[in-house]
Amino acid sequence: MDREFFRMRGITKVYKMGDEDAVVLRGIDLDIQRGEYLSVLGPSGSGKSTLMNIIGCLDQPTEGEYALDGNRIEDLDELELARIRGSEIGFVFQNAQLLTRLDAQKNVELPLIYAGVRPKERERRAREMLSLVGLSDRMHHRPNQLSGGQQQRVAVARALVTNPTLLLADEPTGALDQRTGRQIMELFQQLSGEGRTIIMITHDLNIAKCARRVVHIIDGNLTEGEEATSP
């Protein structure tokens, strides 16, 4: 029997603020198909960062159900959650967060080191991912020898090197100029075209429209937006 790739039902998040409750997410329902490219669009304070943390298994909802690739997240212990974060989800953040003392290849190898992959295989897979993002000629450059866009491409390669089922991007162009941001969005569209499942969190409407589908989050409520028209 086929099972949905991503399913959220009634996701609520409440934080205790002294004697009061701060409701950040309000009963969110969301389904995503394998290979879909979705953006979650919302202003600061809308709840999108909290939603991202729950999607990425960095936080747990107060109420509701979340299943990722057949795994009911609320049923997993911390060890199993760590495994999913390390192998099933690739993270791309606003800042590339590269280690300055390591070259591009070694930065991309890091998740594989933590996963216990042997050196030769780590090197092969890191080189493959850097070629995929168009940096085959920059493998041995350190971050200070790379442009902002190139650094973010290294971060994307690092996120992909474990072959995750989901790529989760949090404001991936937020620290880039407009031209470089467009290049990163072109890369995401390429990855989407190859069948990768991508969820992008952003406050920028123009960036959100680069995805195939847009949902809006405001005051912790999620609503469907218009389907994007990007090629």
Per-residue model confidence as pLDDT tens for the chain (231 residues):
345 689 999 999 999 888 889 999 999 999 999 999 999 999 999 999 999 999 999 999 999 999 998 889 999 999 999 999 998 999 999 899 999 999 999 999 999 998 899 999 999 999 999 999 999 999 999 999 999 999 999 999 999 999 999 999 999 998 888 888 889 999 999 999 999 999 999 999 999 999 999 999 999 999 987 655 444
* Domain assignment of residue 63, yes or no: no
Q: Which two tokens stand for residue 74?
A: 């609320």
* Domain assignment of residue 220, yes or no: yes
Owning domain of residue 149: 36-57+85-227
Collapsed DSSP state (helix, strand, coil) of residue 102: coil
Q: For 51-77, b where at least 16 C-beta lie within 10 A, e where not — what string?
A: bbbbbbbeeebeebebbbeebebeebe
Name the CA dihedral angle for 118, 121, 124, 129, rounded to a multiple of 10 degrees: -90
> What does the alpha-carbon distance between residue 23 and residue 10 come to, in Å, rounded to a whole number?
13
Total domains, the chain: 1
Domain CATH for 177: 3.40.50.300
pTM over 0.75: yes
